Amino acid sequence: MDKLVVHGGASLDGPLTVGGSKNTALPLMAAAVLADGTSRITKVPDLRDVRTFSNVIRVAGPAVTFDDDAHTLTIDASTVDHPVAPYELVKKMRASFYMLGALMGRCGEAKVSLPGGCAWGPRPVDLHIKGMEAFGADIELEEGYVIASAPGGRLDGGSFRLEPSSVGATINLLLGAVRAEGASRIENAAQEPDVVAFGEALQSMGAQIDGLGTDTIEIQGVDRLDPISVRNTPDRIELGTFMLMAATAGTPGTPVEIREGAHEHLGQNFKDKFAETGVDVNYEPETVTVTRPETLRPVSIETAPYPGFPTDLQAQWTVLLGLADGTATATDTIYDDRFKHVPELQRLGMDISVDGNTATVHGGAPIKGAQVMSTDLRASVSLVMAGMVADGTTHVLRVYHLDRGYEHLEGKLQAAGIDIERQEYEEFEGDPAGTPA
């Protein structure tokens, strides 16, 4: 297994370059399954999740090739003759469940495994299933699989309200509705930039969609869709993560440049809260420059759907609070129990307590290097962040979580001045925390 070894105290000088968005690339890949022909997606990040989803798509019949140097993915979906997404693959990544909508849209039938559990709490798919039923699907649950079919081979379309709003369910329902017989309506739809970029790509394939970026999306089904040729958007969570790294590990007073990001996708709440910490931040069309202040102010945040504070930046924000001058809280209203990073950050010396869905951080406690364990994607990057400012060496174990969503992170950080390396280690049976080799 791999770990990241971070020798704390080096200054993050930059520049850092943001790659393509994971959470937009995955639905774009699902969209390609809808078209009878070859689609091409550029600016696709070289990530474990992209490779996993490529395999999920291959099972259904399409040929998928990834040119990782060119960050270009080609999907030939001329043949989709096995509308199945097996447990062995779906359990690795929840977004594989997008195959439900993609296969219903393309074939009018699907057998998709229910996603495996995520380390940070129950993540149901009830809205995906109920929504698909509202659009005309017959659904049965059998041996851990969702077996869906559209009578007559095509969904009718229909109306469904998401409660709560869900990124994944909005994407799945769009995938199903764009090739339905009739019209559909998604209420309380997700407004995340990832959903908008995906919806615009569907439009470029010939889909009839109104209301993208609002809470009500209306779709008029069409008979066929053209293959897609699209450039993926920059990863807004990677941009936000780099901004927080610059605010914590930069040299006070010296700007750190972050390139090729789309800051308009961050949402206003994150930008407002970030500015309140005392950082100097300058937004240009593709470049964000962040200057760390001498003292960071403690600023409380509460996650919310876009344009609220992203839950995917909550763990990283918690690290910033550990360095701030005072006490503040981080509340997660989207995932109540997304605090698996806290015990690990405590191991590094941070003074944090969790009550319900709120972490209270008393800033200023000395952070010291230790061995810590990744538990999920965003938690793992928060541990790297803490390691960068710790006194001594931090070993972040089980970085396969991080590799799901951060492209060549250690290479990017090394080039920007951070002392970090990847090492192999063996995890022994009966030793869940692992022992460094």
Annotated catalytic sites, by residue?
Answer: 118
Q: Determine, following the binding rule CB under 6 A, whether residue 212 of this chain makes contact with ligand UD1.
A: no
Q: Where on the phi/psi map is residue 206: left (φ > 0), alpha (ψ -120 to 50), or beta?
A: left
Using the rule CB under 6 A, give the single segment among 121-129, 204-212, 367-375, 393-401 that binds ligand UD1: 121-129
Asked whether position 137 contacts ligand UD1 by CB under 6 A, the answer is no
Integer Cα distance of 166 and 191 in angstroms:
9
28 near ligand UD1 (CB under 6 A): no
* Minimum CB–partner distance for residue 26 and ligand UD1 (Å): 5
**Residue 123 is a binding residue for ligand UD1 (CB under 6 A):** yes
Report yes or no: 137 and 148 within 8 Å, Cβ to Cβ: yes
Q: By CB under 6 A, tell whether 402 contacts ligand UD1.
A: no
Identity of residue 280: D
User: x-or-dash pattern for ligand UD1, window 220-259, by CB under 6 A?
Assistant: ----------------------------------------
Minimum gap (Å) between residue 144 Cβ and ligand UD1? 16
Least CB distance to ligand UD1 at residue 23 (A):
3
117, 124, 252, 253: which one binds ligand UD1 (CB under 6 A)? 124
Peptide bond into 307 cis (omega under 30): yes
Q: 3-state class of 10 per DSSP?
A: coil
Q: CB-based contacts of 2: which residues, under 8 Å, 6+ apart?
A: 399, 400, 403, 422, 423, 424, 425
The DSSP code for 118 is B
Q: Is 97 or 274 the residue whose CB approaches ligand UD1 more closely?
A: 97
**56 is an interface residue for ligand UD1 by CB under 6 A:** no
Q: Smallest distance, Å, CB 168 to ligand UD1?
A: 3
Question: Which residue's C-beta sits nearest to ligand UD1?
Answer: 168
Q: Report the run of H or E that residue 249 belongs to, with start and end.
A: helix 236-249
Q: How far is CA 298 from the centre of its chain?
A: 26
Distance CA 250, CA 201 (A): 37
User: What is residue 415's three-state secondary structure?
Assistant: helix
Least distance to ligand UD1, CB of residue 133, Å: 12
Closest to ligand UD1 by CB, 70 vs 141, is: 141
Find the helix or strand (DSSP H, E) in which 27 lies: helix 22-32
The answer to whether 273 touches 309, Cβ cutoff 8 Å, is: yes
> Encoding tokens for residue 270?
């994150």
Judged by CB under 6 A, which of 164, 253, 411, 436 binds ligand UD1? 164
**Site residues for ligand UD1 per CB under 6 A:** 23, 26, 94-95, 123-128, 164, 166-169, 190, 194, 311-312, 334-335
